[in-house]
Amino acid sequence: MTIVDPVYRRVVRRETQAARTAPAVIVALTVLALLAAGAVVAVGTLLDPDLRDGLRGAVSEFGERIDAGTLAIGAGASLGGAGVLLVAASIVPGRRGRHARVRGRTALVVDDGVIADIVADAVSARCGLDRARTSATIGRRRVRVRIVPTSGVPVDDALPSRAAREVLDEIGFDAEVSVTVAEKGVVS
């Protein structure tokens, strides 16, 4: 292990994973705003008897209009929904559409769109198809190639799969290849 390995790992991770700062800042600002509002109300009620009486009257009037069960259900549903969103933001992977390769002292980060274009170009060239009729999408471990052939011209299922596999092996990207040939072709 060289000294630059931890640096490369950190840089590659930073480029392939999305930051969690936005949800953290939103939660922190919301909590601070609620604490500040609570502090202002608490100090205001201690210092101003009119404010205290007004709040007491508003709370009792609100309590008369809405029963406790409805209020509890509404508050519970709101807090539960916020909790689910926060847990989802912390658990769901913040993955960007990029793949990385580290070889020796070189680290390379490539956008998934670039890999998809390379695969689609290779498949269309190998199968003799117009590039506009071939598309590819890249997942974490799977490449999906979709071909819309010319009407009446058959496309061998093995040829596009082999072409995609070869180009992926050439660029050093190990993934499962899935080829879909549309049932209905287009008129050229």
Give the C-alpha separation, 173 to 141, whole Å: 9
| pLDDT per residue as tens digits for the range 13-55 | 777 776 777 777 888 888 899 899 989 888 888 888 888 888 8
Domains of the chain: 19-91 (no CATH), 98-181 (3.30.70)
Q: Which residue has the higher pLDDT, 131 or 8?
A: 131
Per-residue pLDDT, averaged over 145-161, amounts to: 82
Give the C-alpha separation, 56 to 78, whole Å: 24
Query: What confidence tier does 1 reach under pLDDT thresholds 50, 70, 90?
Result: very low
Give the C-alpha separation, 25 to 80, whole Å: 20
- Closest Cα to residue 100, out of 17, 16, 7? 16
DSSP 39-68: HHHHHHHHH-HHHHHHHHHHHHHHHHHS-H
pTM (predicted TM-score): 0.58
How do strand 176-181 and strand 98-103 relate by DSSP bridges? unpaired
Give the C-alpha separation, 122 to 114, whole Å: 12
List alpha helices for the chain, DSSP H.
4-16, 21-47, 49-65, 68-91, 112-127, 158-171
- Closest Cα to residue 22, out of 100, 104, 90, 108? 90
Mean pLDDT taken over the chain: 81
Query: What confidence tier does 144 reach under pLDDT thresholds 50, 70, 90?
Result: very high
Q: Which residue has the higher pLDDT, 34 or 187?
A: 34
- The tally of CA atoms less than 13 A away on the side-chain side of residue 125 is 10
